[in-house]
Amino acid sequence: MPAPQAGSGSLGPTALRRWAWVHRWSSLVSTLFLLLLCLTGLPLIFSEEIGHWLDDTPASTAPPGTPRASVDPMVARSIAHYPGQQVYSIVVEEDAPRVKVFMAPSFDEARRNPRSIHVLHFDAFSGELAKPPDPTERGRLTFMNLMLKLHTDLFAGLAGELLLGFMGLLFVIALISGVVLYAPFMRKLPFGVLRTGRSRRLIWLDWHNLLGIAALCWMFVVGFTGVINELATPMFAAWRGNELRALLAQDRQHASAPSLAELASVQKALDTAMASQPHMQAVSVVYPGNPQGSSQHYLIWSKGSTPLTSQLYTPTLVEGRSGELVGEVRMPWYLVALQVSRPLHFGDYAGLPLKILWTLLDLVAIAVLVSGLYLWWVRRPRAS
């Protein structure tokens, strides 16, 4: 954001002015949004820990080695609790031995009003309800939900996601233009110089340069992966509308979805899918008819066991009525990129120390934004 002062090096004065303009305006336009993203991102780094801390569900008392219970009775109990409703999806939690059954009045209602989706928590080993269903839990806005919504879509759905994605893109442009300006700025100065004892503006400028260049790689990775994450909705829509639809064209994709009574056992579908991928672990089941999957098939997401493949989710299709395996669906490159970008944005892939580093680097990013804003403010054109 500050105007260049030092030797211009290989850049001519005109080019330097243009880069300074790009840096100033890409930063200024996005700064407030980025400050919001950095601040809301702080608690989200520890969402897993905060979730466990706030979770009032009793811990499972099953001894080690206890086999997991069948999912079918859990689904049956969920339907008994909410007769006439639709099973939306099932999530198998890895760290807490729990199975979550998501229900909705109907798929159409869930699409119109996502807050109508509610969840029942089951102990993965005993198959019993881990806590009684709480109808008031539906659509309740918790602190973490508030942070997540502000961080991802500003309560504006796809429009909010695209807006924040654009702000992330401006952030990446600000970083690139900042690097271009850094070179002529710092050509005659030692790395990391903080000219204490000079003007306040110069000290802020030195701090801005030092923090910005030191944390550049992290800010670039988190900014760029943030942009990719904000495109998740259109990416999955494109995948469902193109690749998945083409794959299912011959499988009555446009026929009506089977009712719950017509569906094959979901446990059998899980077993069939996992038998075809012995080194994978099931993570979730999307029910037939769910707009997030296929109208006729269980869509079973699984993940691998190596550090990298544990971040890559693979979908497998199982015919809803017969429970027969259709096969694994190959993920397009853009969804692979999306999946790899998630841990690199969340910082949740190498334990608590990495999360603490993520927090400190997030604070560095906030300092870069605030110092940039200050530098612009003290040098802004004023009316004579």
- Report the residue number, 75 or 364, with the smaller CB distance to another protein: 364
228 binds another protein (CB under 8 A): no
Distances (CA, A) of 366 to 173, 204, 373: 17, 14, 11
CA distance 205 to 208: 5
CA distances from 263 to 79, 148, 302 (A): 13, 34, 21
Q: How far is the CB of 364 from another protein (least distance, A)?
A: 7
Of 363 and 373, which has the nearer Cβ to another protein? 363
| Binds another protein by CB under 8 A, chosen from 53, 191, 333, 377 | 191
Q: Using the rule CB under 8 A, give the single segment among 66-74, 161-169, 296-304, 344-352 that binds another protein.
A: 344-352
Other C-beta atoms lying within 10 Å of the C-beta of residue 22: 18
- 148-152, Cβ contacts within 8 angstroms, sequence gap of 24 or more: 148/40, 148/44, 148/47, 150/36, 150/40, 151/36, 151/37, 151/40, 151/41, 151/44, 152/229, 152/230
**Of 42-50, 72-80, 167-175, 193-201, which segment contacts another protein by CB under 8 A?**
193-201
C-alpha span between 337 and 331 (Å, rounded): 10
CB of 190 to another protein, least distance (A): 5
Cβ contact 352:300 at 8 Å: no
336 binds another protein (CB under 8 A): no
Smallest distance from the beta carbon of 132 to another protein, in angstroms?
38
Judged by CB under 8 A, the residue of 353, 377, 381, 382 near another protein is 353
Q: Which of 5, 384, 361, 31 is nearest to 214 (CA)?
A: 361
DSSP strand pairing (297-303 vs 118-123) = unpaired
Considering the complex, what minimum distance in angstroms separates the CB of residue 307 from another protein?
A: 6
* 211 binding another protein? (CB under 8 A): yes
**Strand 281-286 versus strand 86-93 pairing type:** antiparallel
Q: Should residue 343 be labelled a site residue for another protein when binding is judged by CB under 8 A?
A: yes
Considering only 107-115, 156-164, 207-215, 231-239, which stretch makes contact with another protein by CB under 8 A?
207-215
378 binds another protein (CB under 8 A): no
Long-range contacts of 110-113, Cβ-Cβ distance < 8 Å, separation of 24 or more: 110/86, 110/290, 110/291, 111/291
Minimum CB distance to another protein smaller for 148 or for 357: 357
Residue 364 touching another protein (CB under 8 A): yes
Judged by CB under 8 A, does residue 216 bind another protein? yes
Residue 307 as a binder of another protein (CB under 8 A): the answer is yes
User: Which stretches of the chain bind another protein, using CB under 8 A?
Assistant: 179, 182, 186-187, 190-196, 210-211, 213-218, 221, 307-308, 311, 340, 343-344, 349-351, 353-354, 357, 360-361, 364
